[in-house]
Amino acid sequence: MTLVISAFAAVIAASRAGIQTPPMTIDQAADLAVERAFAVRLAKTGVDKARWAVVERKSALGPTLSGSAQYLRFQKANIINLGGNPVVAQPIDQRTLSAAFSLPIDISGRIRTGADAARESLLSQQAQLDAQKLAVRLQARQAFLAVLRAQAGQKVAEQAVADATENLRIQQERLKAGDTARVFVIRAEAQLEAAKSDLITAGNNVALSKEFFNNVLAMPIETPVEFADITELPTLGESPEDAVKMASDSRPEVRSLERSLKSLDLLKRSEELALRPILALSLNYQTLLGQIGAFAQRQQVTGSLNLNWTVFDNGITRARVRQVDQDREALKIQLEQVKLGISLEVRQAWTNFMNAEARIKTTKKQVELAEENYRIATVRLKAGEGIQLEVTDAQLTLTQARIGFVNAKYDLLTANAELLRATGRDQVPSAPTNPSK
């Protein structure tokens, strides 16, 4: 991915310097979007947070070392008479330095279970990140195709202007020759102005689509980008049922929810272990500074093994377990809903693909027919056998047929992008996650 960003940065620099560079492909746009999109960057923070949660839970299994200092002053010193001699039993002030070492002994397994739950939660967050990447790749592909669609529409508008210009020239020559009326020249002029207006609109659509593309990729709006056209159209390989099964197996949204369910199972077990005994080993060191009492020890080391067992907690643990049960039930419902939604998403993308594929065949023939009708109408008009209305209608029909073909082509490519996302095939492998670090 770093190579993709570096290469694209070089492309931008070269474009600004006026150097010819290769245009960006749709796959490069999708890769770049994954690296730059705000949504992906936000999702990565969630993964990092979950990773530190794992570290926190695992650290609870290790030792802790703490230190403290205390200064204590009494109202007066405690002096006793011992054998006729005054002895300071307690000086007026006392300064103490202490150090404590503690090591939990997870005899119930609750700490380890909590760490395992955090690890599953991390894997769930990683799957959510993959899902966000998948969504961003689709957005980048859609924005890329929107630019290509707008550019193709602009070419159609340019051809319409060229055809209208040629028609006006023919009408002006016929008017000079006295073969037509002035009204047909005016009609041709109006047709040319309408075509020019459509061309301006098409140009604005190209500019807007490029700005939207830059926004999707989190780049400055004015960034110059050249787009590589797509000449080879995709085809369907599997049945809708196979596509749905593939989506259920590969979509990261499903993996995320399944990991969350495992995390809740472990969390429930951890809550149930709250009533098990807890064992801890402690070592304490203490030293007294300055003057000390006659019967005090300047340095002292103590060790202890503490066993705590909550026999009855008035239903607190049971209530927490029931809360986790409800969270699991809600998550199971959500998983069922997501799987159903994915199935619908796949079938809709499949249907859109089939519809667009059929329209491409139809509109391609319509363009061929419209081009031939326009050619015949133009020849007839030049020969003085046709009328202006035939040419105008033929030109309008040809423009509409060309636009229909453009829309069918990019509807097919858009449906293919949606199908890639729906089946989970348009994914970039994530970096391996090591929850132990």
pLDDT at 246 over 80: yes
pLDDT at 49 over 60: yes
Average pLDDT of the segment spanning 247-262: 92
pLDDT at residue 16, as a whole number? 54
- How many Å apart are CA 147 and CA 210, to the nearest integer? 6
Whether domain 2-62+126-275+315-422 has CATH 1.10.10.10: the reply is: no
Pairing of strands 85-90, 93-105: unpaired
49 token code pair: 């947070």
Q: Mean pLDDT over all residues of the chain?
A: 87
Question: 296 or 146, which is more confident?
Answer: 146
pLDDT at residue 296, as a whole number? 75
The number of CA neighbours under 13 Å toward the Cβ of 334 is 14
Percent of the chain with pLDDT over 90: 61
Closest alpha carbon to 220 in 22, 18, 15:
15
Do residues 191 and 392 touch, judged by C-beta distance below 8 A?
yes
Closest alpha carbon to 42 in 140, 130, 129:
129
pLDDT at 338 over 90: yes
The number of CA neighbours under 13 Å toward the Cβ of 261 is 14
pLDDT at 47 over 90: yes
pLDDT at 9 over 70: no
Task: Please provide the distance, in angstroms rounded to a whole number, between the alpha carbons at the two ends of the chain.
Answer: 23
pLDDT at residue 343, as a whole number? 93
Closest alpha carbon to 113 in 257, 272, 258:
272
54 token code pair: 């794992």
- How many Å apart are CA 372 and CA 366, to the nearest integer? 10
Do residues 43 and 129 touch, judged by C-beta distance below 8 A?
yes
pLDDT at 144 over 80: yes
Beta carbons within 10 angstroms of residue 127's beta carbon: 23
Sorted by sequence, the CB contacts under 8 Å of residue 127 that are 6+ apart come out as 252, 253, 255, 256, 259
**What is the per-residue DSSP string for 4-35?**
HHHHHHHHHHHHHTT---PPBPHHHHHHHHHH
pTM for the full predicted model = 0.81
- How many Å apart are CA 238 and CA 260, to the nearest integer? 31
Average pLDDT of the segment spanning 320-328: 94
Do residues 154 and 199 touch, judged by C-beta distance below 8 A?
yes
Average pLDDT of the segment spanning 275-281: 90
Weakest mean pLDDT among 41-45, 69-73, 401-405: 69-73
pLDDT at residue 432, as a whole number? 41
Do residues 386 and 377 touch, judged by C-beta distance below 8 A?
yes
Average pLDDT of the segment spanning 401-406: 95
Sorted by sequence, the CB contacts under 8 Å of residue 413 that are 6+ apart come out as 145, 148, 230, 233, 234
pLDDT bracket for residue 340 (50, 70, 90): very high
pLDDT at 15 over 70: no
Closest alpha carbon to 101 in 129, 136, 62:
62
DSSP 298: S
pLDDT at residue 434, as a whole number? 44
